[in-house]
Amino acid sequence: MRRIVITGLGVVSPIGCGRDDYWDALAEGRSGVDSISLFDTEGHSAKIAAEVKNFNVEPWLDKKEARKTDRVIHFVIPAADMAVKDAGLALAGEDLTRVGVYIGSGEGGITTTHENYGILREKGPSRVSPFFIPMMLSNMPAAYTAMRFGAQGPNMAVVTACSTATHCMGEAMHAIRRGDADVMIVGGVEAAITPVAIAGFANMKALSTRNGDPARASRPFDAERDGFVMGEGAGILIFEELERAKLRGAHIYAEVTGYANTCDAYHITAPSPEGEGTVRAINRALEMAGWNADQVDLYNAHGTSTPLNDKTESGAIRRVFGDYADTLPVQSTKSMIGHCLGAAGAVEAIAAIMAIERGLIHPTINYEHPDRECPVNVSAKAMERRVDRAVINNAGFGGHNGVLAIERFSG
């Protein structure tokens, strides 16, 4: 069985861009949630989000190219560049048919869609951008990334709502194991803080309306949680076949040892009762990794800050880990960066990988009022601790569950 290691990390997030800035903000417990600045929120019930602010894409894309691309491309290309450079990949001299890209986006170019629909209504069909279709397609982050590096191997954009990035990473692991590729550029990207997306999520009562206190709005597992906060950004990782990574002397952050993909087949938005789909996914990922439940050192939760999700996920954790759930650290990265939808699994996996790398579990901020319906050990404060094995869980509308198991590389 070919082994897969992680050799590069790149991130664009509401609290920092680049691996180190992102991690420093997480470790310090900084919130990226604030009042929405991307559009006028008059009439909206939810007026807050975790935006990527003051980000200049011009070092990566010139002005002409930036005008022809959606905000998702503005995030994914810098994150991919960071990951490739972090991995020390000299792709120009490689067999690029052995380099693949699996990057997904739950909403795709929704900013472009929103803008061009307005143009259609106000100015007519002839004024719709000729770049509209390629700008809005969900596969374009994967396509642009492949073109950026000349990657001619397997290329796919998994789209499973908030499980998107986790499924991209898991399927990339399988691609390398099968021998389809030696290197995979993987992850997710999202840029969905738009009037229509905010209104849609708010009208289904999914978003927090704690508009007067943005930094404290995302509060996973807390008894006073009232919904998730929309986030945006990109997380890109380099997955590489172990012997290849060792041969070139790459720094190895961690090894990917387990993955599972299940479906609730229950409801378009609500998770299945008692979290049966999540339970099966966690157990299957642990089985693939060869771990016992009590060997897990960190559980990076989906932890959205919605009443139902956190309650259901907590029940799933208790069912899988039993009494060990009393001491297993549970963290939610979303407490600081909001819910990055299709990018969530990747930016959260990077947080878990950095916990292994740095020996620190970042805090879940705003956890102030324990909820009896969420009987899990939430890491409310930063905690120095050796982390050898971590589980990352994500769930998407439609009942899509994805779990990744990563561990310290032991050689």
User: What CATH number has the domain bearing residue 129?
Assistant: 3.40.47.10
302 is known as an active-site residue: yes
374 is known as an active-site residue: no
Choosing from 44, 339, 362, 400, the catalytic residue is: 339
230 and 115 inside one domain: yes
Choosing from 74, 302, 362, 400, the catalytic residue is: 302
Residue 255 lies in a domain: no
d(CA 168, CA 176): 12
267 and 329 inside one domain: yes
d(CA 204, CA 269): 10
Residue 18 lies in a domain: yes
Residue 253 lies in a domain: no
Residue 231 lies in a domain: yes
Which range of residues forms the domain containing residue 297?
260-401
174 is known as an active-site residue: no
68 and 153 inside one domain: yes
What are the residues whose beta carbons fall under 8 Å from the beta carbon of 148, sequence distance 6 or more?
A: 77, 80, 81
Alpha helices in 37-70 (DSSP H): 63-67
| Count: domains in the chain | 2
198 and 327 inside one domain: no
Q: Given 247, 275, 297, which residue is the final one in a domain?
A: 247
List the pLDDT tens digit at each of the 411 positions of the chain: 899 999 999 999 999 999 999 999 999 999 999 999 999 999 999 999 999 999 999 999 999 999 999 999 999 999 999 999 999 999 888 899 999 999 999 999 999 999 999 999 999 999 999 999 999 999 999 999 999 999 999 999 999 999 999 999 999 999 999 999 999 999 999 999 999 999 999 999 999 999 999 999 999 999 999 999 999 999 999 999 999 999 999 999 999 999 999 999 999 999 998 899 999 999 999 999 999 999 999 999 999 999 999 999 999 999 999 999 999 999 999 999 999 999 999 999 999 999 999 999 999 999 999 999 999 999 999 999 999 999 999 999 999 999 999 999 997
What angle, rounded to 10 degrees, do the helices at 195-203 and 110-123 form? Answer: 110
Q: Given 200, 225, 247, which residue is the final one in a domain?
A: 247
d(CA 320, CA 19): 31
Inter-CA distances, 61 with 66, 141, 386, Å: 6, 14, 39
Residue 406 lies in a domain: no
Choosing from 17, 44, 74, 162, the catalytic residue is: 162
**What is the three-state SS of 345-373?**
HHHHHHHHHHHHHHCEECCCCCCCCECCC
Q: Given 247, 278, 298, which residue is the final one in a domain?
A: 247
Residue 410 lies in a domain: no
212 and 293 inside one domain: no
65 and 150 inside one domain: yes
289 and 239 inside one domain: no
Residue 201 lies in a domain: yes
275 and 379 inside one domain: yes
Alpha helices in 140-224 (DSSP H): 140-149, 164-178, 195-203
133 and 215 inside one domain: yes
